[in-house]
């Protein structure tokens, strides 16, 4: 007596097709630009690799004068802020076979991924300008909610004093986002997660959204920032910095000698530091 072995998938692998879905898994890039979204936007001029913006450097004055007295007179002075235009470009080289014999989803996904790379590069550029030109907020650490309130209040005063504008946005690193969400009061209740603990109205941050509210500021989480040290949080008056940008452009070249195709994806952008003190940086010792 014996039992015959039943055939299985292993025995007939050639007759069991493996399907490939059109969806693409991507956990490393996206088109988000939270730093750029935290400042103002402008239209890039149609020509030139730089442009100028007039800026008042000395304002006229008015003062009390006695009858027949001499009026106050201070000559208005203006200078130009020069803004340099930069090119942001990426390239992909692939074979004709890949272009001709692949699914149409290949090229569509390639362009989408290059747009993600463009978004990352431009957002990092603005983050660098804010970190370079913003006001140093002094040596700080965050151990409780009062430290956050102190940083925000100092930033609000500094920005208004030096720009006559208001602190409206705060950009934080993913690590600092976690620190802020984890702050609790003496009863171990979250301070900045209002949806969890309505008794504390210091903010509205959640683990399911990279945008929220922190002490009245619009909060955005940016991967262009990192860690919990210096420049891991920057508070901004959006009118003090402006991002100017062209439409996206593309180039395609066929290389006959190698049977390859090169695709370039690029755009022009410029960040103007109109009032440097409109950014206030979190710094540590």
Residue 211 has a pLDDT of 93
pLDDT at 239: 98
SS3 162: helix
pLDDT the model gives residue 5: 62
The string of DSSP letters for 31-67 reads S--HHHHTSEEEEPPSS-SEEEEEEEEE--------T
Q: What is the DSSP letter of 140?
A: -
Residues 6+ apart with CB under 8 A from 84: 49, 50, 270
pLDDT tens track of the chain, all 285 residues? Answer: 666 667 788 888 888 888 888 888 899 999 999 999 999 999 999 999 999 999 999 999 999 999 999 999 999 999 999 999 999 999 999 999 998 988 888 889 999 999 999 999 999 999 999 999 999 999 999 999 999 999 999 999 999 999 999 999 999 999 999 999 999 988 888 888 866 556 666 788 889 899 999 999 999 999 999 999 999 999 999 999 999 999 999 999 999 999 999 999 999 999 999 999 999 999 997
Quick one: pLDDT at residue 279?
98
Output the pLDDT for position 201.
Answer: 65
Encode pLDDT of 158-181 as tens digits.
Answer: 999 999 999 999 999 999 999 999
Whether the model pTM is above 0.95: no
CATH topology of domain 88-283: hypothetical protein PF0899 fold (3.30.2320)
pLDDT of 202 reads 75
Helix (H) or strand (E) holding 125: helix 104-133
For the chain, the structural domain boundaries read 88-283
* Residue 251: its H or E element: strand 249-255
The whole-angstrom separation of Cα 113 and Cα 91 is 11
Quote the radius of gyration of the chain (alpha carbons, Å). 27
C-alpha count within 13 angstroms, C-beta hemisphere, residue 60: 4
Residue with tokens 């000559």: 75
Angle (CA) 185 189 191, round 5°: 65
Strand order in the sheet with 217-221: 135-139, 279-283, 233-236, 169-172, 217-221, 211-214, 203-204
């Amino acid at each position: 007596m014996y039992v015959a072995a039943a055939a299985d998938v292993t025995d007939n692998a050639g007759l069991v097709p493996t399907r490939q879905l059109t969806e693409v898994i991507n956990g490393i890039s996206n088109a988000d630009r939270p730093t750029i979204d935290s400042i103002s936007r402008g239209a890039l001029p149609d020509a030139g690799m730089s442009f100028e913006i007039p800026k008042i450097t000395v304002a006229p004055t008015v003062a009390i004068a006695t009858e027949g007295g001499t009026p106050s007179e201070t000559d208005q002075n203006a200078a130009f802020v020069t803004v340099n235009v930069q090119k942001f470009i990426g390239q992909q080289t692939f074979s004709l076979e890949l272009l001709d014999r692949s699914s149409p989803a290949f090229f569509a996904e390639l362009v989408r991924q290059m747009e993600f790379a463009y978004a990352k590069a431009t957002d990092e550029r603005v983050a660098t300008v804010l970190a370079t030109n913003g006001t140093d907020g002094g040596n700080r650490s965050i151990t409780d909610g009062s430290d956050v309130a102190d940083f925000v209040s100092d930033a609000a005063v500094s920005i208004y004093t030096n720009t006559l504008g208001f602190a409206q946005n705060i950009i934080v690193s993913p690590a600092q986002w976690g620190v802020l969400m984890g702050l609790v009061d003496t009863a171990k209740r979250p301070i900045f997660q209002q949806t969890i603990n309505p008794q504390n109205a210091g903010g509205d941050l959640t683990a399911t959204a990279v945008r929220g509210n922190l002490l009245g500021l619009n909060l955005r989480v940016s991967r262009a920032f990192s860690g919990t040290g210096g420049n891991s949080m920057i508070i901004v008056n959006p009118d003090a910095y402006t991002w100017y940008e062209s439409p996206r452009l593309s180039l395609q070249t066929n290389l006959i000698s190698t049977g390859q195709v090169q695709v370039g994806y690029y755009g022009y952008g410029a960040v103007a530091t109109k009032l440097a003190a409109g950014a206030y940086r979190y710094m540590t010792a």
